[in-house]
Amino acid sequence: MRKITAELFVSLDGVVEAPHEWHFPYFDDRMGAAVDAVVGAADTLLLGRRTYDSFAGAWPGREAAGGEDAAFAKGLGDARKIVVSRQPLEFTWRNSELLGGELVEAVRALKNEPGDGPIAMSGSVSVVRQLLAAGVLDRLHLLVHPIAVRKGMRLFDEGEPAIPLRLVSCEAFETGVLNLFYAPAEPPGQATYEDAKSHLPQSGAD
């Protein structure tokens, strides 16, 4: 079965909206390599409508310009791009198609397609939320920036039930950015302060 990894830039207070307004001062070679290892390595991209429109409005031109980011832009262009949208779309960026059917079932079918090439998501917060809640997402890749943006949409909205995750790997960049990978986890079970207090430092005997 193919695996899906969702990658997001996120602030320390959980904001994922408009990262272009705050994350570029932290973008260095290590972050570039981290992004390339997920999005650049994928042969299939699953994107929400807004993210796709942003990408399609920028990356084809960057590929044509032949600048320093042209190779990365070409990789995005060559990848299969599947767009989540409730409206029919006319695509001008090559290798683009509309995801058909109900989101969760369609993504499950995508994961069951032949081959084992990685599927990546970038941004597309509303889609990430739905796939996390349905247990369909395999990895959540968060690049946590050391800044409190204090406005904008957060990654996790309010709702039930809780979504337990386990930390797969953690790396700190010199910029202060944390490179974190999470995977779905079983609920941690019930506990109270009575269970926790035994883990506190114990006072010595007089």
Position 170: which residue type? C
Query: Is it true that domain 4-199 has CATH number 3.40.640.10?
Result: no
H-helix segments, 137-197:
193-196
On the CB side of 186, CA atoms within 13 Å amount to 3
Residue 6 CA to residue 4 CA, distance in Å, equals 7
The neighbour count for residue 202, using CB atoms within 10 Å, is 8
Per-residue pLDDT reduced to its tens digit, 101-156: 999 999 999 999 998 899 999 999 999 999 999 999 999 999 999 999 999 999 99
pTM of the model: 0.93
